[in-house]
Amino acid sequence: MSLKSKVLAVTLTGTLAAGGFVGINNLSNSPAATVAAKAEVSKANVSQKAPKNVIVMVGDGMGIGQLEVARLLEHGRDGRLFMESLENVALMHTYSANNNVTDSGAAGTAIATGTKTNNESIGVDAEGNEVKSMLDAFQARGKKVGVISNNTVTDATPAAFTASVANRWSGQEEVARQMLAAEYDVLLGGGASYFGPKKQNGVDLVAEFQENGYAFASDRDQLNSVGTPDKLLGLFHSSYMNYKTDKDDVNSQEPTLNEMTKKGIEVLSQGKDGFFLMVEGARIDHASHAADATGIWKETVEFDSVVEEVVNWAKDRNDTLVVVLADHETMGISATETMDIEGLKAIDVSPEFMAGKLVQENGTVTDESIKSVFKEYANIDLTEAEVAELKNNIKDTDGKVYAAYRTGWEIGSVIAKHNNVGVVSREIRAEGATGGHTGNMVPVFATGLGSERFEGVLDNTEVIKLIAEAARHEYAQPSGK
């Protein structure tokens, strides 16, 4: 959020008064108002000690189906993902202010600020008024704060915690500027292009961060050797970071999500008053948009391993709350009875990578390259009819071939069909504005101080209130907001 929005109350409370956090983000008439009743019922059972640290971990697009696909491919039907072992579990509704199905901007804003907003909006309410986030609230209380994502750090979820812009797609340059102005302690992920002179009217924002005392890292080696500076900026790709499946094939020099999170905690935990950290496993959502069950498996398992490391770090400290959740579900992913698990496990690159291997001649992709790519990377022999259909599906209304990521959506849908993956059809995906998001409820897992509040069926606006209640926070929004 911009500096002008950082106004906070001075009281510490065990529960939130009506004039506190609920009131300032206009939640008194929302589903979040039910939290007070829930808290009253369980007051005798909740923690009486406030967490020093709060870590929110967001698996973007990670619904129940994504978890089940990942679990089956990684551990088999008798195995479990680590996050399933966390002692407090809830389900969460995700709709936005103007749609039954949210996008990541509105979903991130609801989680970060407790405010329903319109799809594509970031850090503002449905009327466009700026609303503050829990990250800003923790920072104003003297805690170190940061965000980590394997998407761009300026995209929807990290932006919802750190900025206010009218539109997520056109506002990423402004998000970067607001991050600089707010002096957040840790920013790690992709999106270097949004900090560079070409997108910042000739200004090098990275240089300005460094002038303001930030250490900077641009690859894995630099991150691992940077030590524990007071403030850290790490930008490891011009756009979103590479899929887990593709890193070896593209000779990636990026750190893993685990390495970024470990370093982030090292830097933030230097603060004597504790810290707030948001970690996003963003590429679960991207793989889901492409109906890429193999990618969903790999990205979800990586995210799960980060959850395990974070929980293991926190478990003996008795001073940390960890909340793991999704912002929404993508593409209605499900583990069908006939899903070809072994066939999916044999694929080791993303549909986007496959799209990059297609050969274009005279403005169209050649039949031969389509057949060879599917055979080499997905072990699928396409029929002539399937080749013709794919060629038609990867062109826009002007007859131009889509960019690799968008072509990857179509390739992934073909692979999902051949391997009997349960998924929203490409036709339904094309008709919606979110690229295949659904309104399905998503999981919430929690552990540590105050985690017992995360039970039952929640709305996404309730997350911030439960965290605030656990942390004994009461806030005030600037007048008129």
Query: Would you please indicate which residues are annotated as catalytic (active-site) residues?
Result: 104
> Per the structure block, which two tokens stand in for 253?
């020099």
Interior CA angle at 357 toward 428 and 292, to 5°?
A: 35
Task: Return d(Cα 202, Cα 478) in angstroms, integer.
Answer: 33
Asked whether 235 and 153 are in contact (CB, 8 A), the reply is: yes
Q: Parallel, antiparallel, or unpaired for β 275-281 and 320-325?
A: unpaired
Asked whether 66 and 288 are in contact (CB, 8 A), the reply is: yes
> Per the structure block, which two tokens stand in for 337?
């009875």
Q: Given phi > 0 = left and psi -120 to 50 = alpha, else beta, which region is 364?
A: beta
Q: For 406-428, give one letter per residue: b (16+ CB within 10 A) or e.
A: bbbbbbbbbbbebbbbbbbebee
Task: Return d(Cα 18, Cα 9) in angstroms, integer.
Answer: 13
> Per the structure block, which two tokens stand in for 478?
């600037």
Asked whether 210 and 192 are in contact (CB, 8 A), the reply is: no
* DSSP state, residue 12: B
* 388: three-class secondary structure by DSSP: helix
* DSSP state, residue 246: G
Task: Return d(Cα 156, Cα 107) in angstroms, integer.
Answer: 9
* DSSP state, residue 165: B
